[in-house]
Structure 1
Amino acid sequence: MEKNVIKTLIVEYQQFVKEISLIERDIHLSAQLNYVFVGLRRAGKSYLMYQQIQNLLKEGHKVEEILYFNFEDDRLVNLTVEDLDLIKVCYEELYAYRPIFFLDEIQIVQHWERFARRLADQKYRVYVTGSNAKMLSSEIATTLGGRFIVQNVYPFSFQEYLNANNIMVEPTWYFKNRAEIVRSFSEYFYYGGLPELELVEGAEKRQWLSNLFNKIFFGDLITRYSIRNDLAMKVLIRKLAESVKQPSSFSRLSNIVSSAGAKTTTDTIIDYLEFLQATWLIFSLENYASKLAEKVSNRKYYFIDNGLLNLFLIDPVTSLLENLVAITLRKKYEEELYFYHQNIEVDFYVPVEKLAVQVSYSLKEETTRKREITALLKMAAVMEVDKLLIITNDEEEVITENGKEINVIPIWKWLLEFEG
């Protein structure tokens, strides 16, 4: 690339990141560490970068100290790792400051990790974003060593969604504006929390999500992983969407995909599931009670955003309810979140919190009520569990049985209390 083009972009980006308006997210970064931001397309990784830049400016840093570069800019074509060095040289010709690097979607440049590590070795502060498996592969983790912290970026929480819509959640919200919050929750529930969706009118939200899914499907999956059997991948995704509440084994998924006319092997299904998780479309949970082999091969799969899951469902309410609880728990507990199946079925188990959670749209039917309560009580009898919870659509009570207390709470109330 020509130096004049790079210098023009450096100055242009500095003005852009200084002036952009954003909704501040509840993510706090250390000033002493380097970060790699990873997550689903459009989850807000770049905006988290902008937020950090504006925080630095508020702290007294000059905009000239910021070296932000967006590698998805269509003016940048076929960049090499040598061009990354040239960007640094161009900055040094413009300014006498020691730059703070913000490298957006840098995975487009092959061998970018060498450049990032060299900057870290030279004690520069570096922030990097990326959308795919290349950002988290074992090879790159080895290359970056302990010099970078991986910061997972999820779609908006319900609290962040309300902030984005200028809805205040004050200490007295339950009595003051509960109706407004519950109304807002309905849209968040069905369309999810991807930040850019807030700019889309209601009737067009589903189309926006569909377009995003197609970009993920064809760009992050089919093209990037050179998948030739795209029908098999489509069938697999749809089946995972229909089965979010149930464990699915590799062999079962392989049989279902093959029976739908997309002949495939179990090994291929294993690869496809890895690709789906690497692109952040889905995540999986292990059964805490199962043997090692089953922990790997028989998992529950959830979608990273309710809006994307909802694209594939006809009668979505119960699946969306459990999926949203799964997302929220996953954000906080990461790999410490499980489900529990051993003679009894409990939707979520967090051993470090001694917490067991059931998800049920309603407890009004006696058979449903008995099933959910019995499962929690049976688990509490054999496992160390102090907190028992049933998350519902809109019901609330405290159940005391066999010396145990089970809190029943509406999803919208639980989200605000849990995320608060």
Structure 2
Amino acid sequence: MQKLELLPLVLDHQTFFQTPPDTICRSIPVFPCLDGREINLIYGPLHTGKTSFLRQVAGPMPGFKVYINFEDSRFRGMGPEGLQEIEEIAAEFCRKGSEYGKGVENEEKADKEGSSGPISYFLDEIQYVPGWEDWVDRLQRDGARVFITSSSAGLMSQNISSHFANRIRILKLPPFSFKEYLTLKGLRVPKPNFLTPTRCDEMLCLFLRYFENGGFPDIIKNGDNRLSKKYFEEILKKEIIDKHNIKDTEGLKKLAVFLISNMASEYSLDTLKRASGIDSEDAVCNYLDYLEEAFLLYRVPMFNHLSENTEKEREKE
């Protein structure tokens, strides 16, 4: 993409990023992200509020800030050269002291304010752009602050830490906790020691509602459980089917629904193969990996007394 094509897209994204989010501040501490010069990677499921968290982080930071959401279809097909163009646009804005292209009356004052700190890059889902690692690596080495998000745990398995040579801080952003759920509902979080029997019953009802509906912010705010199905379908398509070019979409969906409907149960690969209609056990194994990478489920290893004893023997050695 040429710079003239990118410029209006970059400006659109800055307008969005400057709009105050309609949500609460997460209870996850922001300040560790502000300390040091590491690259900050925030990862978690779709729709858990990673972009809102980026806004929360950006608030107290000095200097010029650039936000790009690479899930925007207008960036589709962009290569490494497009990343360089974005960097040049950011540097040009910073030099001119422009407030994302809006202009200012006192250019000398704006130049000074624009250079009051390093450029900070807030990059949503940048893993869609080939060659992003080298670009982010160079930005950080050149002194920029870099914050990236990802909706896939698969990014963690791609030797991301070794690529950035221990210059990356990784933060997992899960859906809202029960305490955050109460805060978003505008309810005061009571201290356990001061709960009356009536208040205990109220808290139990609220917890059961939270347990049933989950901790996704928009579902909590809107009270619309239909969003859960929409999120499920979106995660399957965007994070698994499209990303891994899955042909047997029906088998994948049957497998996911079967597992979600039978949580905390023991399964064999043969059982999952028959329940889903998937052709091979290898395919089942791959689909389980993809479902876990997309945060749709978590596998728990079977407890084994023999392995526990073996580990203890190793510790004794």
Q: Which residue of 1 aligns with 2:101?
A: none
Pair 228,14 (structure 1): closer, same or farther in 2 beyond 3 Å:
closer
Tell me the equivalent position of 1:70: 69
Contact 1:81 1:110 in 2 (8 A): yes
CA separation in 2, counterparts of 1:196 and 1:114? 35
Matched, 1:240 2:241: no
**Residue identity matched to 1:74:** S
Per the alignment, residue 17 of structure 1 pairs with 17
1:264 matched residue in structure 2? 279
Count of residue pairs the alignment pairs up: 280
Q: Give the CA deviation at 1:166.
A: 0.7
C-alpha displacement at 1:24, in angstroms?
Answer: 0.3
| 2:39 paired residue number | 34
Instruction: Name the aligned partner's letter for residue 216 of structure 2.
Output: L
Gaps of at least 5 residues in structure 1 are 293-339, 341-420
Q: What residue identity is the alignment partner of 2:20?
A: I
Deviations 1:316-367 (A, max 9, x none): xxxxxxxxxxxxxxxxxxxxxxxx9xxxxxxxxxxxxxxxxxxxxxxxxxxx
* Cα distance in structure 1, aligned partners of 2:88 and 2:306: 55
- Offset of residue 141 of structure 1: 3.7
User: How big is the shift at 1:277?
Assistant: 0.9
Tell me the alpha carbon deviations over residues 253-295 of structure 1, each in whole angstroms, 9 at most, x when there is no partner.
x322443471422222221111111111111222343556xxx
Alpha-carbon distance in 2 for matches of 1:218, 1:15: 29
Picking from 289, 297, 301, the partner of 1:274 is: 289
Query: What are the equivalent positions in structure 2 for 1:222-237 lying under 5 Å apart?
Result: 222-237=241-256
SS in 2 for 1:79: coil
Amino acid in structure 2 at the alignment position of 1:16? F
Shift of 1:125: 1.3
Q: Secondary structure at the match of 2:147?
A: strand
Q: Select the structure that is richer in strand.
A: 1
**Does 1:105 pair with 2:125?**
yes
Distance 1:291 1:118, change over 3 A: farther
Q: Counterparts of 2:81 and 2:306 in 1: how far apart (Å)?
A: 49
User: 2:121·2:145 contact (CA, 8 Å) conserved in 1?
Assistant: yes
Matched residues in 1 for 2:210 and 2:67: separation?
A: 32
SS at match of 1:150: strand
Cα distance in 1 for residues equivalent to 2:18 and 2:238 = 30
Matched residue SS, 1:211: helix
Q: Confirm or deny: 8 A CA contact 2:66 2:90 kept in the other structure.
A: yes
What residue number does 2:147 align with?
127
Closer, same or farther in 2 for the Cα pair 1:18/1:143, shift >3 Å?
same
Aligned: 1:6 with 2:42: no
What's the TM-score once normalised by structure 2's chain length? 0.80
Tell me which amino acid in the other structure corresponds to 2:285: I
Normalising by structure 1, we get a TM-score of 0.61
Q: 1:157 aligns with which of 177, 182, 194?
A: 177
Query: Do the aligned partners of 1:106 and 1:130 also contact (CA within 8 Å) in 2?
Result: yes
Conservation of the 8 A alpha-carbon contact between 2:278 and 2:284:
no
User: Which letter maps to 2:215?
Assistant: G
Conserved? CA contact 2:48–2:217, under 8 Å: yes
Counterparts of 1:14-413 in structure 2, within 5 Å, are: 14-21=14-21, 22-29=23-30, 30=32, 31=34, 32=36, 33-56=38-61, 61=62, 65-96=64-95, 97=115, 98-171=118-191, 174-175=195-196, 177-200=199-222, 202=223, 204-205=224-225, 207-248=226-267, 252=268, 254-260=269-275, 262-290=277-305
Q: Structure 1 residues 245 and 84, CA, compared in 2 at 3 Å: closer, same or farther?
A: same
Distance 2:131 2:123 in 1: 14
Q: Tell me, in whole angstroms, the C-alpha distance in 1 between the residues paired with 2:249 and 2:57.
A: 39
Which range is displaced more, 42-51 or 263-272? 263-272
Give secondary structure in 2 for the equivalent of 1:95: helix
Distance 2:284 2:305 in 1: 21
Check 1:5–1:196 CA distance in 2 against 1; reply closer, same or farther (3 A cut). Answer: farther
Percent of pairs with identical residues: 25
* 2:313 match: none
Root mean square deviation of aligned Cα: 2.4
Evaluate the alpha carbon distance shift between residue 173 and residue 260 of structure 1 in structure 2; reply closer, same or farther with a 3 A threshold. Answer: same
Task: Spell out, residue by residue over 1:85-125, the C-alpha distance to the aligned partner (whole angstroms, 9 max, x if none).
Answer: 11111111111333111001111212211111111222321
* Structure 2 counterpart of 1:19, one-letter code: T
* Contact 1:37 1:45 survives alignment (8 Å): yes
Give the deviation of 1:139 after TM superposition.
4.0
- Give the counterpart letter for 1:235 in structure 2: K
